């Protein structure tokens, strides 16, 4: 990997997969701009530990996104890569899911990623940078009581494939990753919806995974780092199903 001094903007970076990605990229020499909803003690601590720039802003509020990108560019003068990793999730039966809440999920995950990429695009054109978007295998298979989340993640898959075709002639490489069940704080939403403790949820989901366990955030970070590698240009518009074998087909 040759990510030394590459400026990577990561959304949703203070915990879970975003944090694991940040740590891996830092180990490869990247310069990091780390986004999360608010500048709280947790984000401050992560940025101090990784010598990273904090670029807080709730990406469900589109007015924040330009500020996030501007703060990054003011510090680093460029952007070499964007990892659209942020996500919001709530679950509920389709006929009972509050419509405004349904749209908050879609607007945060899909529209927030679209606008983040659009705002960063002028700088990515100059650097011929890379974009990695985090979808989910639920965006491929769907999931009961997760119509909003699955719809937003399916939309991200279409966004990746469309942008890859449009931006590849400009030298910008776009790919996505569709993680399976990953042991992150987001699983607490599943546990609450299932009325189960987190240990039982991990066992339940592991039953359908050929690998025999749920994935780790560090495993996802390895895939994202590969997609950001400047020497990796053969994969364009691909969705990597990082699911431990649960999803094996193309998407």
pLDDT, one tens digit per residue, over 41-57 is 999 999 999 999 999 99
- Structural domain including 153 reads 7-181+216-240
Write down the pLDDT at residue 188: 86
Domain presence at residue 177:
yes
Q: Which of 148, 128, 5 is nearest to 76 (CA)?
A: 5
More confident residue, 207 or 117: 117
Q: Looking at 26-30, 74-78, 85-89, 209-213, which range is the least confident one? A: 209-213
Q: What is the average pLDDT score of the chain?
A: 94
> How does pLDDT run across 61-70, given as a tens digit for each residue?
999 999 999 9
CATH code: domain of residue 122: 3.40.50.720
Q: Where residue 248 falls among pLDDT bands split at 50, 70, 90?
A: low
Of the candidates 178, 176, 60, 55, the one whose C-alpha atom is nearest the C-alpha of residue 120 is 55
pLDDT-derived band at 184 (thresholds 50, 70, 90) equals: confident
Is there a domain that residue 92 lies in? yes
- Is 103 within a domain? yes
**Burial of 170 by CB count in 10 Å (0-12 exposed, 13-18 middle, 19+ buried)?**
exposed
Q: Is residue 77 part of a domain?
A: yes
Domain assignment of residue 205, yes or no? no
Number of domains in the chain: 1
Confidence of residue 174 (pLDDT cuts 50, 70, 90): very high
Residue 152's Cβ-count burial label (10 Å; 0-12, 13-18, 19+) is buried
User: Is there a domain that residue 135 lies in?
Assistant: yes
pLDDT of res. 156: 98
Q: Tell me, what's the pLDDT at 250? A: 44
Measure CA 161 to chain center: 16
Lowest mean pLDDT among 90-104, 143-157, 166-180, 236-250: 236-250
Residue 148 placed within a domain: yes
Inside any domain, residue 207: no
């Amino acid at each position: 990997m040759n990510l030394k001094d590459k400026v990577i903007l990561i959304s949703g970076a203070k915990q879970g997969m975003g944090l694991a990605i940040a740590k891996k990229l830092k180990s490869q020499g990247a310069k990091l701009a780390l986004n999360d909803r608010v500048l709280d003690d947790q984000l401050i601590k992560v940025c101090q530990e990784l010598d990273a720039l904090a670029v807080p802003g709730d990406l469900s509020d589109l007015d924040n996104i330009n500020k996030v990108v501007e703060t990054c560019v003011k510090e680093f003068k460029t952007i070499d890569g964007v990892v659209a990793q942020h996500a919001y999730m709530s679950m509920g039966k389709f006929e009972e899911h509050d419509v405004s809440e349904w749209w908050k999920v879609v607007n945060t995950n899909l529209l927030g990623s679209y606008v983040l990429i659009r705002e960063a695009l002028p700088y990515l054109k100059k650097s011929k940078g890379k974009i990695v978007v985090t979808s989910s295998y639920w965006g491929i298979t769907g999931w009961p009581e997760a119509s909003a989340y699955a719809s937003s993640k399916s939309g991200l898959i279409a966004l990746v494939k469309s942008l890859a075709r449009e931006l590849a002639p400009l030298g910008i490489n776009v790919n996505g990753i569709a993680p399976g069940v990953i042991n992150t704080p987001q699983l607490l939403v599943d546990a609450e919806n299932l009325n189960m403790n987190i240990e039982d949820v991990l066992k339940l989901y592991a039953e359908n995974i050929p690998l025999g366990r749920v994935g780790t955030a560090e495993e996802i970070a390895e895939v994202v780092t590969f997609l950001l590698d400047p020497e990796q240009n053969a994969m364009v518009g691909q969705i990597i199903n990082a699911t431990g074998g649960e999803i094996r087909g193309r998407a």
